[in-house]
Amino acid sequence: MAAEPALAIVVRGTDWSETSRITTLFTREFGKVRALAKGGRRLKSNFDVAFDLLTVCQIMFIRKAHGGLDLLTEARLEEQFPALRQNLSALYAGYYVAELLADGTQDYDPHPPLFDAAVRTLRGLG
């Protein structure tokens, strides 16, 4: 299977093992994607700080044919919103945006205008 590129917002993350992480991403091209990043918790991983909540990153992932988690092969940070970390009410509003994207959308149901609106909102909050 070929790796798929996508632009994504990190909306949720969970530690899976000592070195791996499960990340929920809302992508512009594919909608909500849940992926396993093997080695994503290591200090010298291929993923840098791209898995911080509310970051925009360029990802490459391999889609699983029969359900389950996709495999994240690469993540490169595109945009952070550092002003959100300086204003508590703006940070909470950003968390609310992430929660709406994570719980209010279906897997693999792309909505490019919703993705663009979410990024604009995060920029505006900052």
* Segments making up each domain of the chain, as ranges: 4-125
Q: What is the pLDDT of residue 46?
A: 58
pLDDT of residue 43: 53
**Segments of the chain with pLDDT less than 50:** none
Contact 79, 55 (CB under 8 A): yes
Predicted local distance difference test score (pLDDT) of residue 13:
86
Burial class (CB in 10 A: 0-12, 13-18, 19+), 14: exposed
Written as six digits, the tokens of 81 are 């919103």
Give residue-wise pLDDT tens across range 28-60. 999 999 998 876 555 555 565 667 889 999 999
CB neighbourhood size of 68 (10 A):
9
Q: Looking at residue 49, what is its pLDDT?
A: 61
d(Cα 26, Cα 119) in Å, to the nearest integer? 11
Going by their DSSP bridges, the two strands 31-37 and 21-27 should be labelled as antiparallel
CATH topology of domain 4-125: OB fold (Dihydrolipoamide Acetyltransferase, E2P) (2.40.50)
